[in-house]
């Protein structure tokens, strides 16, 4: 079905010529530092008096400033999107796909520049930043395929009527994105809206507005008319409710924390004066992901998988592993191997440009929250690796393993969103599954086992949106691992699939009497 589709491949930065290109991109970024971002409403750039800073978490350097939308500007942006919808909804699928293919081309042309801003603003290493860009290319290319299939509608019976059931766009949507994939997720959500014929207002996370804006500028050049997308930075606590409550908003595409996602879900359920239609919410939220290691597992492989899942990008992926559920008879061997893996990943103060495996966490708020959890974990169990941190120059936390955690402890149940993994000892595979499923989340999970019976059981009983075996629980690949969680991890969005795009379309059934 996807013959000819190839996933984008991360750049190999060990090649000197690619390193040089990256350095050149950093120089380009340096020349732009101190910039001020505008709002973009209906194609017009608006600079507001109220601004907020974007900070490099590796060094605490101020990278630039962003305008901050007022209540009136939110309303203005939503109305601009509504105006643009009148024509964009009539655009052909062919035209939308052409724009998206152009966008993919622009992304490839500006790859190093986009990666460089992402590295500076989010604290990712080079590979993680480029991996994010690759996933975005995959999203774009896969949606170009899916939208053409969806254009066919659904097959119907024909009698003496001519019957058609086709997908149509919904109207104006809001996209609200997190900081941890400041390019990829910001982009994925607004691309899904645009390729389905909708228009939208697009709120980036306040920690990473520049990376989002740099993508937005490319999207403005891909051929879509002004007003189809509208850049609307501002604090979520100030403008979030205004956007969500607005009567012209038809859908909200949100990725972020459980608390904000649940708030949006609840508010969107209320029909406000002037509103036509019930709002649809696509919410992708947090996780408390577990990896089970049973007695038959390849322990070295399991330790590598848990370390990679828990510590890459400093554990700041919604899919990250934060609980290792380990059978008692392999516990000591596994923990020793995990410590060895974690020790390879120390978080030294750096520049963010040194491309170390482990960088800083995203902000002072994140640093404070994660270190508080480390101290809670120190009280609940034994810190057997890491537990050390410093915000001397940037926000650095060493990969931390906390052993001896019981299933009722806080760090066994609450999302930490940092480089911290709790080790919980179990006495049976059933107990492991029971603990894996006990949290309110249901995003990713993995099982290391060479016992077929356990694998089959877990396939049925491990209740998460993305389940893996003998592999890490991060790094979902578009068209291979459709991504999205159950329970309070979200509405099971499954990014990169036709199902994802269907979230933003109505199905219209049309029948014509042929005997008349
Ligand atoms: P967050 O605090 O929930 O923020 C996400 C977005 O919501 C930001 O743009 C934020 O704006 C905005 N926001 C804040 N308050 C709002 C309100 N009252 N109404 C509307 N919007 C509001 O999450 P985060 O810290 O950026 O991201 C980390 C979380 O995202 C983690 O829980 C992680 O697991 C989750 N995540 C999930 C997935 C997934 O696919 N399931 C992917 C990535 C991340 P400000 O930045 O201005 O506050």
Cβ neighbour number for residue 340 with a 10 Å cutoff: 14
Helix, strand, or coil here: 320?
A: coil
pLDDT band at 351 (very low <50, low <70, confident <90, very high): confident
Query: Which residues participate in catalysis according to the annotation?
Result: 284, 318
Q: Where are the CATH 3.40.605.10 domain residues in the chain?
A: 17-285+492-509
Q: What are the structure tokens assigned to 480, written together?
A: 């291979």
pLDDT band at 347 (very low <50, low <70, confident <90, very high): confident
The mean predicted confidence, pLDDT, of the chain is 97
pLDDT at 356 over 90: no
Q: Atom 22 (ligand 1): residue with closest C-alpha?
A: 236
Question: Of all atoms in ligand 1, which is nearest to the CA of residue 181?
Answer: 43
**Residue-wise burial string across 49-58, b where 16 or more C-beta atoms lie within 10 A, e elsewhere:** eeebebbbbb
Plot region of 452 (φ>0 → left; ψ -120 to 50 → alpha; else → beta):
alpha
Q: What are the structure tokens assigned to 179, written together?
A: 């900081």
Span 362-388, average pLDDT: 98
pLDDT at 1 over 80: no
Which fold is adopted by the domain 289-482?
Aldehyde Dehydrogenase; Chain A, domain 2 (3.40.309)
Q: Which of 67, 202, 240, 256 to mutate to test the pocket of ligand 1 (most atoms within 8 A of CB)?
A: 256
- Is 491 within 8 Å of 281 (Cβ atoms)? yes
pLDDT at 411: 98
Which CATH code fits 17-285+492-509?
A: 3.40.605.10
> For residue range 179-214, what is the model confidence (pLDDT) as tens digits?
999 999 999 999 999 999 999 999 999 999 999 999
Span 388-405, average pLDDT: 97
Q: Which residues line ligand 1 (CB under 6 A)?
A: 176-180, 185, 203, 205-207, 235-237, 240-241, 244, 255-257, 260, 263-264, 284-287, 318, 415, 417, 443, 485, 489-490
* Rounded-to-integer distance, Cα 378 and Cα 396, Å: 18
> For residue range 306-346, what is the model confidence (pLDDT) as tens digits?
999 999 999 999 999 999 999 999 999 999 999 999 999 98
> For residue range 42-101, what is the model confidence (pLDDT) as tens digits?
999 999 999 999 999 999 999 999 999 999 999 999 999 999 999 999 999 999 999 999
pLDDT at 352: 81
Distances 474 to 72, 241, 483 between C-alpha atoms, Å? 40, 31, 10
Q: What is the DSSP string of 73-100?
A: HHHHHHHHHHHHHHHHTTS-HHHHHHHH
Helix, strand, or coil here: 19?
A: helix
Q: Which of 69, 260, 285, 500 to mutate to test the pocket of ligand 1 (most atoms within 8 A of CB)?
A: 260
Q: What is the DSSP string of 465-488?
A: SEEEESS-S----TTTS-B---GG
pLDDT at 79: 98
Q: Where are the CATH 3.40.309.10 domain residues in the chain?
A: 289-482
> For residue range 455-509, what is the model confidence (pLDDT) as tens digits?
999 999 999 999 999 999 999 999 999 999 999 999 999 999 999 999 999 999 9
pLDDT at 37 over 90: yes
pLDDT at 103 over 90: yes
Helix axes 331-343 and 299-311, enclosed angle (nearest 10): 50
Span 440-457, average pLDDT: 98
């Amino acid at each position: 079905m996807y013959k000819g589709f190839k996933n984008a491949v991360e750049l190999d930065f060990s090649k000197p010529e690619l390193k040089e290109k990256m350095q050149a991109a950093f120089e380009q970024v340096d020349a732009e530092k101190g910039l001020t971002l505008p709002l973009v409403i209906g194609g017009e750039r608006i600079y507001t008096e109220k601004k907020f800073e974007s900070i490099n978490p590796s060094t605490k350097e101020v990278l630039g400033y962003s305008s901050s939308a007022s209540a009136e500007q939110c309303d203005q942006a939503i109305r601009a999107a509504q105006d643009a919808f009148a024509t964009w909804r009539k655009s052909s699928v062919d035209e939308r796909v052409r724009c998206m293919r152009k966008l993919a081309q622009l992304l490839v042309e500006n790859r190093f520049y986009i990666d460089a801003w992402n590295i500076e603003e989010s604290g990712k290493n080079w590979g993680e930043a480029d991996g994010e860009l690759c996933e975005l290319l995959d999203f774009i290319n896969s949606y170009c395929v899916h939208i053409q299939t969806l254009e066919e509608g659904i097959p119907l019976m024909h009698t003496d009527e001519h019957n058609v059931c086709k997908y149509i766009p919904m109207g104006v949507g809001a996209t609200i994105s997190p900081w941890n994939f400041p390019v990829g997720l910001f982009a994925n959500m607004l691309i899904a809206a645009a390729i389905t014929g909708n228009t939208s207002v697009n709120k980036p996370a306040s920690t990473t507005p520049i990376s989002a804006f740099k993508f937005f500028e490319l999207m403005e050049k891909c051929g879509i008319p002004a007003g189809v997308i509208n850049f609307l930075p501002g604090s979520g606590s100030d403008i979030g409710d205004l956007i969500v409550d607005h009567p012209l908003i038809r859908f909200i595409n949100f990725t972020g924390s459980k608390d904000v996602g649940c708030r949006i879900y609840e508010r969107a359920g209320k029909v406000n004066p002037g509103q036509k239609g019930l709002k649809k919410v696509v919410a992708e939220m947090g996780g408390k992901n577990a990896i089970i290691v049973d007695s038959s597992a390849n322990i070295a492989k399991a330790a590598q998988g848990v370390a990679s899942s828990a510590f890459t990008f400093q554990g700041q992926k919604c899919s990250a592993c934060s609980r290792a559920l380990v059978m008692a008879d392999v516990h000591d061997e596994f923990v020793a191997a995990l410590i060895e893996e974690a020790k390879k990943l120390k978080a030294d103060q750096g520049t963010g440009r040194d491309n170390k495996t482990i960088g800083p966490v995203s902000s002072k708020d994140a640093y404070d929250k994660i270190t508080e959890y480390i101290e809670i974990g120190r009280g609940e169990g034994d810190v057997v690796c890491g537990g050390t941190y410093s915000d001397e120059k940037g926000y650095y936390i060493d990969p931390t393993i906390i052993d001896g955690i019981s299933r009722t402890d806080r760090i066994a149940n609450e999302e930490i969103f940092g480089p911290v993994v709790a080790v919980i000892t179990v006495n049976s595979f059933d107990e492991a599954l029971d603990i894996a499923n006990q949290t309110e989340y249901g995003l990713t999970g993995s099982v290391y086992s060479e016992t077929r019976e356990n694998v089959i059981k877990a396939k049925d009983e491990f209740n998460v949106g993305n389940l893996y075996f003998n592999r890490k629980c991060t790094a979902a690949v578009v068209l291979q691992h459709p991504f999205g969680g159950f329970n309070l991890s979200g509405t099971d969005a499954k990014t990169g699939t036709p199902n994802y795009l269907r979230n933003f379309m109505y199905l219209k059934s049309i029948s014509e009497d042929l005997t008349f």
